[in-house]
Amino acid sequence: MGGSTLTPKRISARTRNEWVTAYGFLLPNLIGLFVFVFVPIVYALYVSLHDWNALNPKAFSGLDNYRKLLHDDQWWSSIRITLTFSVIYVPLLFVLSLLSALLMNALRGRTKGVARTLFLLPFAVTSVTSAVIGMFMLDPRNGVINRLLGLIGIGPQPFLGSTSQAMLSIIGVILWINIGYNMIIFLSAIKEIPRDYYEAAGMDGATGWKSFRFITLPLLRETSTFILIVTTIGSFQALDQILVMTKGGPANAMEVSVLYIFKQGFELLNMGYAASLAFVLFLIIFGLSLVQLKLFSNRN
């Protein structure tokens, strides 16, 4: 019985060209991810081990910055405010975006195009511009919102000047910006669901609610997971509107973690301490993302 040798499978020229093309398209994104995400994370870890004010040379301090943050009440208060912001903002954005997508999917003709434009228009506005618009609308004296409330007999509200209303006011502005974008993602996923499923369910007597519960929602699992993770990350990184509209006030009621890190690094020039805070915040976001991925992704 003669021995046999295994020859490696040859890759065709066409397959190699397809690989080269695919990786060619991916390369700019991979380079951007490496340069603007991985390198800053590693550098932040390095800086966090030093005492540095951005003016003098770095002085190695080991884990001193991490010991300091463990006893920084203001930092943990900012974490609490950020978690509260996220717990309110993420579910609201998810539900409103999904409902908007379902509404958009039910529209027909020119109405659909007009509604889609109205939903997407705020997303084209820059974050600072949206914050300025929000400040004018929420002005306690001449703002549009207070004028509308006055029509139904409700007195002027302080909104951004109130420790109890500032968070909801800012959440409202950020929702106004982001609902359209997430709505389009949901709408694209809904369009991919075969109509045969709904027709079969209709023949079995399934109502609109049952079709939504047992067909639409399960088939939107991957899209829902993506949106939940991305919006959670975004809620922990919210800064622009908060900085412009309240600067963390009133009475530090909106001093979220990113704003506290910003103040430590660029106002107080505690760069080493700010880097340690940023790295801890990265670990929190990373951990929450893994938990969400585990809870909401498909289970084989």
> DSSP of 125-175, one letter per residue?
S-HHHHHHHHHHHT-TTT-HHHHHHHHTTPPP--GGG-TTTHHHHHHHHHH
Please give the tally of structural domains in the chain: 1
In a domain, 79, yes or no: yes
Six token digits for residue 3: 């021995």
The answer to whether residues 146 and 156 touch, using CB atoms and an 8 Å cutoff, is yes
Which of 281, 260, 284, 280 is CA-nearest to residue 270?
260
In a domain, 26, yes or no: no
Distance separating the N- and C-terminal Cα atoms of the chain: 45
In a domain, 7, yes or no: no
Query: Which pLDDT tens digit goes with each residue over 191-205?
Result: 998 888 888 877 877
Flag whether pLDDT at 217 surpasses 60. yes
In a domain, 23, yes or no: no
Query: Which pLDDT tens digit goes with each residue over 5-37?
Result: 555 556 677 788 888 888 888 899 999 989 988
In a domain, 102, yes or no: yes
Question: Across all residues in the chain, what is the average pLDDT?
Answer: 88
pLDDT in the model for residue 299? 54
Six token digits for residue 144: 């549009």
What CATH number has the domain bearing residue 236? 1.10.3720.10
Flag whether pLDDT at 261 surpasses 70. yes
In a domain, 3, yes or no: no
Write the DSSP symbol of residue 247.
T
Phi-psi bin for 159: left (phi > 0), alpha (psi -120 to 50), beta?
Answer: left
In a domain, 12, yes or no: no
Domain around 260 = 41-296
Who contacts 274 (Cβ-Cβ below 8 Å, separation ≥6)? Answer: 261, 262, 264, 265, 266
pLDDT in the model for residue 138? 92
pLDDT in the model for residue 23? 86
In a domain, 244, yes or no: yes
